[in-house]
């Protein structure tokens, strides 16, 4: 078990020369192609002419592409994309404002009762969204928050906040205590230490948390379909869902919407892959 301690560099000799591993590259390409086939298929269908949708066998390559589907997206779904953007950013802001100070309190100010609090946060992540949705629904009905964006932002943030607090406190407990002591000796107060030392040093955690909070809010379907289904501002996930319900023949338009809805995920993967991987691992492996 002691072999599992982190940061043991692997000897460079393990990386074999390119000649011995070309077959692995070939195999890896094959695996990736199989894995990503559904994604390719989504793009392919989104470019297919409506009359070719029911062709048998379906054309594997979009040789005769059409942008009808995408035109439909830009005619009908632009407001929904805007709504999703607002939702995502709102959720990021709310999550950061709540989670970063809490992480500081738990990790560095040694908040009393942080053990039970950590356990609560862990369990909070396990509560099914459908249960939370019912609770929120019951509350929002009375408060008139149904079908409002702030209501949906709050509900969406419940997915991200426990994760964010755990991530922040795990990272911040690794900040060298000497730095904080030095600042304290120089006369910095608790708030000053937080703002000028802890937050800047936690930049990577802030990025990881923001990324996940955004993606989760952007992808949310359960809260949107329960708390916001008659709202004036529908997120893109509901846009797709209503599309499926209304015109099942227009699968090229549905898939075009799906492609557009996937853009943030694709962008974030390209720009911030290592934060994604860090977040996935942190969600699973933490104190």
Partner 1 sequence: MTTISAAPRRAGSGAGPGDPPDRTRRGLRRVRPTQWAALAFAAPLLTYLVVFYAFPLYRNIELSVHDYNVRAFVQGNAEFVGLDIFRDVVGSGTFPVAVRNTAIFVVVSLVFQYALGLALAVFFRTSFRLSAVLRGMFLVPWLLPLIVSASTWSWMLNGDNGIVNSVLGAFGIGQINWLTDPSLAIWSVTIANIWLGIPFNLVILYSGLQNIPGDVYEAASLDGANAWQQFWRVTFPLLRPVSAITLLLGFIYTLKVVDVIWVMTTGGPANASTTLAVWSYREAFGTGQPAFSPAAAVGNVLILVALVIGLVYVQVQRRQEKAA
Token readout for 248 is 């099942």
Nearest distance, CB of residue 90 and partner 1, angstroms: 14
Separation of alpha carbons 240 and 1, rounded Å: 47
- Between 75 and 176, CB nearer to partner 1: 176
- Contact, 124 vs 165, CB < 8 A? no
Q: Three-state SS string across 124-167, please? A: HCCCCHHHHHHHHHHHHHHHCCCCCHHHHHHHHHHHHHHHHHHH
Nearest distance, CB of residue 232 and partner 1, angstroms: 19
**CA torsion through residues 138, 142, 148, 151, sign:** negative
Nearest distance, CB of residue 266 and partner 1, angstroms: 8
User: What's the chain's length in residues?
Assistant: 287
Nearest distance, CB of residue 153 and partner 1, angstroms: 11
Nearest distance, CB of residue 71 and partner 1, angstroms: 19
Nearest alpha-carbon partner for 175 in 204, 148, 212, 140: 204
Nearest alpha-carbon partner for 98 in 54, 24, 155, 164: 164
- Between 75 and 284, CB nearer to partner 1: 284
Token readout for 253 is 């338009």
- Between 39 and 78, CB nearer to partner 1: 39
Nearest distance, CB of residue 72 and partner 1, angstroms: 15
- Give residue 144's region: left, alpha or beta (phi > 0; psi -120 to 50): left
- Between 52 and 233, CB nearer to partner 1: 52
- Between 124 and 233, CB nearer to partner 1: 124
Nearest distance, CB of residue 186 and partner 1, angstroms: 17
- Between 204 and 232, CB nearer to partner 1: 204
- Between 13 and 75, CB nearer to partner 1: 13
**Can you say how many angstroms the Cα of residue 149 is from the centroid of all Cα atoms in its chain?**
19
């Amino acid at each position: 078990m002691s072999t599992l301690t982190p940061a043991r560099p692997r000897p460079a000799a393990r990386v074999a020369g390119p000649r011995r591993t070309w077959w692995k590259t070939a195999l890896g390409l094959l695996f990736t192609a199989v894995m990503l086939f559904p994604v390719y298929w989504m793009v392919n269908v989104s470019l297919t002419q409506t009359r070719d949708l029911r062709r048998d066998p379906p054309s594997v390559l979009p040789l005769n592409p059409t942008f009808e589907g995408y035109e439909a997206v830009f005619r009908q779904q632009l407001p929904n994309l805007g709504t999703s953007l607002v939702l995502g950013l709102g959720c990021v802001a709310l999550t950061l404002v709540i989670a970063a100070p809490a992480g500081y309190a738990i990790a560095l100010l040694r908040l009393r009762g942080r053990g039970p609090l950590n356990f609560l946060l862990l369990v909070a992540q396990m509560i099914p969204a459908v249960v939370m949705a019912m609770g929120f629904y019951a509350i929002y009905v009375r408060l008139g928050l149904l079908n409002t964006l702030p209501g949906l932002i709050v509900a969406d943030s419940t997915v991200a906040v426990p994760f964010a607090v755990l991530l922040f406190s795990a990272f911040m407990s690794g900040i060298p205590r000497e730095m904080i002591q030095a600042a304290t000796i120089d006369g910095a107060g608790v708030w000053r230490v937080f703002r000028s030392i802890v937050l800047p040093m936690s930049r990577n955690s802030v990025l990881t948390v923001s990324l996940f909070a955004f993606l989760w809010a952007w992808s949310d379907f359960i809260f949107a379909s329960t708390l916001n289904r008659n709202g004036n501002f529908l997120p893109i996930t509901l846009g797709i869902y209503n599309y499926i319900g209304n015109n099942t023949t227009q699968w090229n338009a549905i898939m075009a919407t799906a492609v557009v809805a996937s853009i943030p995920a694709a962008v974030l993967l390209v720009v911030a892959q290592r934060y994604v991987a860090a977040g996935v691992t942190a969600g699973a492996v933490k104190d």
